[in-house]
Structure 1
Amino acid sequence: MVKAKKTTIHDVAKAANVSIAAVSFALNGKGTLSQATREHIIATAEHIGYQADALARGLRRSRLGAIGIVNRSLDLLGEYFLPGIDAFDRTISTLSALALQRGLAPVVLPDLTGASIPAISLALDGYIIVSPQSGDPVLELLDNREIPYACIGFDPSQAGFRSWASEDDAESCLQVMEHFRRQGAQHPSLLRGESENSWNVSSEQAYRTWCAAQGVQPQVHVLDESSGVAGAVGLFDKLWPQNKTDAIYAMTARHAVGIVTAALDQGVDVPGELLVATGSDSEAARFSRPAISAIQLNPNEVCADALNLLIERMEEREPSGPVLRRAKFRPRSSSLRR
């Protein structure tokens, strides 16, 4: 016999055409909702058979003073230590330090839907989820348990979710494309990862929009992030010289290093014949030869924003997000012709 799927707070929000936060406010008698909206949400919840998780309600009443941090990009890579790629370390360490400063103990955990998660994971006061994926099962779990969370980046499938902070990835992509154009590139391409997270999705959308405005044929290549340097080397060997491109924006630093490595091995002049930049600055990009132009991420501000958004949800206040921060593009030798 197939077990019926449990009705979740997300289902109530969808049926009532309101946000998840509004459902939480209505069912818990909090927030500044109008009486009509509150009654509408409660009636909708009763109509579709929603029953709040008693454990989740109990946890909210007895705070532990601890929050969880989950990095979904690392979960999907299946690796948690990436030498030369310091962006992940900086995000986790910054979140941890900021949480401690706010009197909250940070607990770093892997995929919450995995088999080896400690029991305390569902007793934490809330979570910051870094780089959620489209339709992310970790967010679904937290919604079902009514555990508050905020995100760095957003789930592309959750259009109405507001408790997230990020660099403005679309604007970052446009910075790189305009830099390529000023350096003489006429056929720039995008190398993104397979993961359907906001970083990849927003960057591709911005790239295609830019290409349409410039009358340029878009060239989007997709590689599994875990393929690393070797994956990008293999891709470049297939692309060059048959593929007409004179600039490559590789979202991950390891893919950018792979492109530069393969280009030099084939005698391609970087930057003379090919411009290269990456969407994530790191030691690997900075110490490459030539050094690779990169988007410099801004963990201090973005992590502080995400923590503030989480605390809002923990205190059942109206969300003030999303919050976008402008990242800075650092041109280096790999893309400077003039």
Structure 2
Amino acid sequence: MSLEAARPTINDVAERAGVSRTTVSNALNGKGTIGEATIARVRRVADELGYEPNAVARGLRQSKLGVISLLIRPLESLDTAMPEGVDYFLRFAGSAALAAMDHGYSLMLISDPSKPGAPPSSLAADGCLVEAPIRNDPALSLLDRKRIPFVAIGVDPARPDAFPAFVQQTEGETARVLDHLHEAGARRIALVTGTDENAWNVFARDAYEQWTARHGVEAIHRSIDETLGVEGGRMVAHELLSGATPPDGVYCLTGRHAAGFVAGARELGIDVPEDLVVAAGSDAVMNRTSSPTITALDLRPVETARLAVDALIRILQDEPVDWSSLDPTSELVVRESTSRRRGDGPAQA
């Protein structure tokens, strides 16, 4: 079935609501003299069917717009779309834009289209990419209801099999980093995640609990709001490292939290990496340029974005997608923060 045929029409709404096409048009556009009950019924049916009456959306049903939209979900919870020292989103968006151009499309960055007051233009695209959706993500529900093709980069943790998505290897990556910290001598390893309920945070936490249980060690987990950035990492470092039994290793999912944790440790007179080893779950500019430089996972946003665009184009063209081959393997970039000079024995508090 073609994408145009799959989208609901005004005839579908009229038939379901038991009214004429004219009544549907007037009810949705605030014209004519129609009873409130009829207006409410027509609008409810239109919403259930995913019918979009605005002129741009009508154009979607009639022809290709040549536009792909991109919703970077983590930016919705940050106080800026360009967090200092973080280049993941820039690299992802830039690669997606160029990949879209290769297919004859433009890329449009959008905010959450499910928010109250979101402009109709946020849905004016042939398809959408959603990076790092959250649990029960309302944007995915809206796109699905509107029958707008989309690809999620990372699954919705509450609905992992419900939508087309890259199933990222977060559990395996988490175990790999924890193993690396353990091999570097750490025996009490803490995990610092963000608070967004996306698959990255949720699955990393689950994998960490499994790893600590398997090794018979205490799980030390803290969740820090992503908006706190470096300062959040510094705060949790002061909390954990000032305790009676501080960790000698820490895995921070975000690069900014890792940089802050290292800064906090140094303020307390703790040497990194000799007394404490630190790794980040997402490489960032500040991890590559800080002193010491910080070991991090390169999640390969350039390659991921290109593959996501390619997958969405295949969906738009009614072609099959092999999802099992799409998540690029991340690279653990070992730097100074886990490279001890005095050997790999356990750190001394």
TM-score range, shorter-chain basis? 0.7 to 0.9
Amino acid at match of 1:66: V
Q: TM-score, normalised by structure 2?
A: 0.79
Aligned position for 1:302: 304
CA separation in 2, counterparts of 1:320 and 1:145?
Answer: 24
1:20-50 residue CA offsets vs partner (Å, 9 max, x unmatched): xx9x99x949xxxxxxxxxxxxxxxxxxx99
Match of 2:81 in 1: 80
Other-structure match for 1:334: 337
Q: Counterparts of 1:213 and 1:203 in 2: how far apart (Å)?
A: 15
Q: 1:165–1:305: 8 Å Cα contact kept in structure 2?
A: no
Matched residue SS, 1:220: strand
Give the deviation of 1:228 after TM superposition.
0.9
Please state whether the residue corresponding to 1:195 is helix, strand or coil.
Answer: coil
RCO greater where, 1 or 2, for CA within 8 Å and sep 6 or more? Answer: 1
Gaps of 5+ in 2: 8-44, 344-349
TM-score (norm 1): 0.81
Q: What letter corresponds to residue 192 of structure 2 in structure 1?
A: L
Aligned to 1:169: 170
Instruction: Return the letter of the residue paired with 1:327.
Output: S
> Does the Cα contact within 8 Å between 2:48 and 2:145 map onto a contact in 1?
no
Q: Give the aligned partner of residue 98 of structure 1.
A: 99
SS at match of 1:177: helix
Residue 288 of structure 2 is matched in structure 1 by 286
Partners of 2:311 and 2:58 in 1: CA distance: 20
Q: Over aligned residue pairs, what C-alpha RMSD do you find?
A: 2.3
| Counterpart pick for 2:50 among 28, 53, 61 | 53
Please report how far the alpha carbon of residue 119 of structure 1 lies from its aligned counterpart in structure 2 after TM superposition: 2.9
Moved more, 94-103 or 156-165: 156-165
Q: Distance in 1 between matches of 2:163 and 2:274?
A: 43
Deviation at 1:257, TM superposition (A): 0.8
Which has the greater radius of gyration?
A: 2
Q: Which residue of 2 aligns with 1:226?
A: 227
Structure 1: segments with no counterpart, 5+ residues: 1-21, 30-48
> 2:259 is aligned with what amino acid?
V
Is this contact kept in 2: 1:72–1:130, CA < 8 A?
yes
Residue by residue, what CA displacement relative to the aligned partner does 1:161-188 show, whole Å, maximum 9, x if unpaired? 3522265222221111111111111111
Preserved CA contact (<8 Å) 1:162 1:320: no
**What percent identity do the matched residue pairs reach?**
32
Q: Tell me if the contact between 1:162 and 1:321 (Cα under 8 Å) persists in the aligned partners.
A: no
Q: 2:262 aligns with which of 239, 248, 260?
A: 260
Query: Does structure 2 conserve the Cα–Cα contact (< 8 Å) formed by 1:270 and 1:290?
Result: yes
Q: Is the 8 A contact 2:113 2:119 kept in 1?
A: no
- The aligned counterpart of 1:45 is none
Distance 1:284 1:205, change over 3 A: same
Runs of 4+ in 1 over 6 A off after TM superposition: none
Q: Tell me the SS of whatever aligns to 1:324.
A: coil
| Match of residue 36 from structure 2 | none
